[in-house]
Amino acid sequence: MTAIEGNNVRITDGGAATFLPPDGWAWFHIDNGPNGRPIGRLRISYGVNPGDFEIVSVTQAGNVGIGNPNPAQTLDVAGNVQAADFLIPSDERLKTNINQLSGSLDSLDAVRGVSFEWSETAEQAGHANGRKQIGVIAQELAAVHPELVFTPDGNEGYIAVDYCKLTAVLLEAIKELRTESEAKIQALGEELGSLRKELSLLDGPAEAHPEPAYT
């Protein structure tokens, strides 16, 4: 039962409290079970009927969904996100067991850079379909760098890629490629120097090879 006590609304026996707007299009819900409703969820939706189109959903666990009624992460957005900056703490004082990556160039041989379009299933989860995308295949990346993939709970087991951290692998791969290139250039230079010495020995001084006399 929902009771109004002064300025408070109290749900005493489970269920949901829905605040009905005058225009009948924007809805504010407080879900508290039962009948399949989650306990302690706040929702804002719009439409002719409550919950037709979810705008914001906040779960009891503190997860916030925008366009996603069942957020699996602290912030779970079905759609594009725009911001001036995304800052990620990376101070050395916050880290232990620091080891420089190795074999990055070889590891990337197992990962393809691909173009693709989102499937209908992905479109239902908020991914814009109908235009070409660029990325990697999560399963291929997981085989060589499992630290860069994540499988959220409650997301049908679909694997996500941490593209931000992938830059560390690309950084070391570029360094390894430069080292390999410099080593090859040095080896070619040394080989060229040896060939020049051999040619000079074959030619010898000019006086050692007099011009033939013709009669």
The structural domains of the chain, ordered by start, are 2-77 (no CATH), 99-204 (1.10.10)
38 — pLDDT class (breaks 50, 70, 90)? low
- Say how far apart CA 22 and CA 5 lie, in whole Å: 22
64-93 tens-digit pLDDT: 999 888 888 899 888 888 889 888 999 999
- Say how far apart CA 178 and CA 168 lie, in whole Å: 16
64-66 vs 75-77, strand pairing mode: parallel
**How large a percentage of the chain has pLDDT more than 70?**
75
Q: Is 137 exposed, middle or buried, given 0-12, 13-18 or 19+ CB atoms closer than 10 A?
A: middle
**Residues whose CB falls within 8 Å of the CB of residue 176, separated by 6 or more in sequence, listed in order:** 104, 105
113-116 vs 133-136, strand pairing mode: antiparallel
What pTM does this model have?
A: 0.69
Question: What's residue 9's pLDDT?
Answer: 54
Asked if 159 and 138 touch (Cβ cutoff 8 Å), the reply is: yes
Question: What's residue 72's pLDDT?
Answer: 81
Question: What's residue 29's pLDDT?
Answer: 76
195 pLDDT above the threshold of 80? yes
Alpha carbon 190 to chain centroid, angstroms: 44
Selected residue with higher pLDDT from 193 and 27: 193
CA atoms within 13 A on the CB side of 85: 3
114 — pLDDT class (breaks 50, 70, 90)? very high
154 pLDDT above the threshold of 60? no
12 pLDDT above the threshold of 90? no
Alpha carbon 153 to chain centroid, angstroms: 17
Task: Tell me the pLDDT of the chain averaged across its residues.
Answer: 82
Question: What's residue 103's pLDDT?
Answer: 95
208 — pLDDT class (breaks 50, 70, 90)? low
For residue 30, the cross-strand partners are: 17, 42
Of residues 53, 55, 52, 71, the one with CA closest to residue 63: 71
